[in-house]
Amino acid sequence: MGTRVYVGRLPPRAYEKDLERFFRGYGRITEILLKNGYAFVEFADSRDAEDAIYERNVEAMNLKESGSFNFLIFYYKFNFQTKDRL
Cα–Cα distance measured from residue 25 to residue 84, given in angstroms and rounded to the nearest whole number: 27
Q: What is the CA radius of gyration of the chain?
A: 13
2: pLDDT strictly greater than 50: yes
Which residues lie across from 6 on neighbouring strands? 40, 76
Q: Which amino acid is at 43?
A: F
3-state secondary structure of 76: strand
- Please give the domain boundaries of the chain with CATH numbers for all domains: 3-85 (3.30.70.330)
Residue 31: predicted pLDDT? 94
Q: Which amino acid is at 30?
A: T
Query: Tens digit of pLDDT for each residue in 18-65?
Result: 889 888 899 999 999 999 988 888 899 888 888 888 777 655 554 445
